[in-house]
Amino acid sequence: MDIRQNALLELLDILTRENVIALEQAQMIRVRQGVIRALIKKDKVAQPRYEPSPVEIVMASGAVAADGSALEEEKIVEIWAHATGVTYLRIDPLRLDQKLITETFSQNFAKMNVVLPISLRQNVLTVAIELPHNDELVRSLRQMQRYDIATVLASKTAILRSIAEIYGFKTSVTAAATEQTTSINQAQIAIGNLEQFMSIRQLEDIDASDSHIVNAVDYLLNYAFSQRATDIHLEPKREQCIVRLRIDGVLHAVHKLPVVVHAPIVSRLKTLARMDIAEKRRPQDGRIKTEYNGREVELRVSTMPVSFGEKMVIRVLDASRLFQGIDGLGMTQEQLSAFRRMIAAKHGLILVTGPTGSGKTTTLYSALNVLSSPEINITTIEDPVEMVYEDFNQVQVQPKIGLDFAHALRTVLRQDPDVVMVGEIRDEETAHMAVQAALTGHLVISTLHTNDAPSAITRMLDLNIPPFLLSSCLVGCVAQRLVRKICPNCRQKTTLTDDQIHLLGLHQLSTQRTALNVCEGMGCPDCRNTGMFGQTGIFEILEIGTNLRHLVHEAADNETLTRCARSDGMHGLLESAIQKLGNMEVPLSEVVRVLGLGEA
């Protein structure tokens, strides 16, 4: 009986003992293991060298958990590791030492033996393997290396994916650095076509015979997509290029590349984005439209000359995030009802406020998606167009030819619009045009940069909008911020201290008792030990009622407007954040960070 069959029998015993699967299912797998193994190998014709692992056989058997839920590969591996006394590791790609991995084993050896170096400390090399008792592999590793070998158990899928990503990217970058050439097609494409589709290959489709720079770019983009990155930074330094990804609002350094490959990688991305690869002295903007795992993805590409070359930042725009339903934005039921009433207005002005990166664009697009229908003409004026969407008539401002927000809006009003979205009100002329459009039977939705909802009114008055006109057309204002959510896999209840209660002002709020018990994330591989996973919004919804409309007409100051709004039932950003804190959705540290409350 070989090691894999022994391992399978051991795993089945553990899973039944731990009540993960029923005894009948385990017996079925024992009987049919040969058939299941053959089906797996037949299904993986492209990878005939890999023998199915015990976990793969269990997953492919059709077995379900004792509670009726689907089995998870990582969970099975974790249970197996704990039962056999082996350390379990859920591989976090952002924390892998790529230099150690590529210098320890060859790619072929790592793939054939499903082994991945994890760390090297005090002459002990820790490697991730797929079987807990693979003594033969450990002996081979000790003979090959001058280090002692320690093993951790990880899922085969995660090990092989990491090998493909790291060795593939490293091989492409190293070969490109040796060649010191781009080997890419530099033919220019018409810049006006925003809909041109660029195919970014999946990991399994990347061919080693293709251009090394092309491969490196495909590996990089696949890696960024798989890690849920919203921004990719390529930063040239004196001796290397730093690659950083922004995930859930926080930047992570993921690669250090030879400086010689920075320019070719940037040139490849500029070609995909239909930018001028010969122009390196001026900032440029472009976009790439592609897909990942069946989802449409748009990349907004921006370059800027810096000390050691061109810095490139790529904004990743996922249509599934940008066009989510408004009930998924993070509003409370009361706020959601108010927001629905606002966007249901036949005409008027709605203002969305918040700093850059606070989710205003998602709120705007989600609202427009609700309003979209064949009977309604929706036109957007943006700088730049965030996501090309065929149900909207989208206009990109071009200041170089005199097409700014005000001029574009003036023209749009001759195009028989029902709803107009103005990307941002930046100046007095645009503000006046937006108000005139709202007064003449159009619903206008736009953004401003203010700290809270009442300040949007003050800002419009500062732009010399007559108070009587603003009071006649303003429907409401929305202020928002993005906060990171607690990781669901490592959340733990805790209690606010007296100092934290005082910091949040809970002694003055009726929610004091319910907000005392909160949650914090302890950190785990899923959240990269940050304790947070994903983002949600906190909102301040200001509906313009009779009392507020009178105050706007009188050009009341911000303090008076805020008092009236609160008396009419408006909950501020702090109250919204405290409610999410009490509901154990967000951690205290995020509330403090985003709202700038000081030390928690």
Tokens 């507020």 correspond to what residue? 548
Could you tell me the two tokens for 325? 């339903």
pTM over 0.75: no
pLDDT of 179: 63
pLDDT of 387: 77
Q: One-letter amino acid identity for 3?
A: I
pLDDT of 49: 55
pLDDT tens column, 196-222: 566 666 655 555 444 788 888 888 998
Give bridge partners of residue 537 from the DSSP assignment. 482
pLDDT of 181: 43
Q: One-letter amino acid identity for 195?
A: E
If one counts every other C-beta atom within 10 angstroms of the C-beta of residue 455, the result is: 19
- Which whole-number Å values give the CA distances from 180 to 170, 260, 297, 327, in the listed order? 15, 7, 30, 51
Taking 50 as the pLDDT cut, the residues of the chain under it are 45-46, 48, 180-193, 208-210, 509-515
pLDDT tens column, 39-70: 877 765 445 456 788 998 888 888 888 777 78
pLDDT of 126: 93
Query: What is the distance between the alpha carbons of residues 102 and 116, in angstroms, rounded to a whole number?
Result: 10
| End-to-end CA gap in the chain | 59
pLDDT of 284: 92
Q: One-letter amino acid identity for 2?
A: D
pLDDT tens column, 514-573: 447 889 998 877 787 788 888 999 999 999 999 999 999 999 999 999 999 999 989 999
Q: In sequence order, which ranges of 229-344 are alpha helices (DSSP H)?
A: 262-272, 319-322, 333-343
**Which residues are CB-neighbours of 271 under 8 A, at least 6 positions away?**
184, 185, 186, 277
pLDDT of 510: 42
Query: What is the distance between the alpha carbons of residues 452 and 353, in angstroms, rounded to a whole number?
Result: 7
Q: Could you tell me which of 214, 98, 92, 107 has the C-alpha nearest to residue 164?
A: 107
Print the SS3 string covering 548-585.
HHHHHHCCCCHHHHHHHHHHCCCCCHHHHHHHHHHCCC
pLDDT of 93: 79
Q: Could you tell me which of 576, 584, 573 has the C-alpha nearest to residue 496?
A: 584
- Opening angle at CA 297, ends 205 and 534, nearest 5: 105
**Which residues are CB-neighbours of 195 under 8 A, at least 6 positions away?**
289, 388
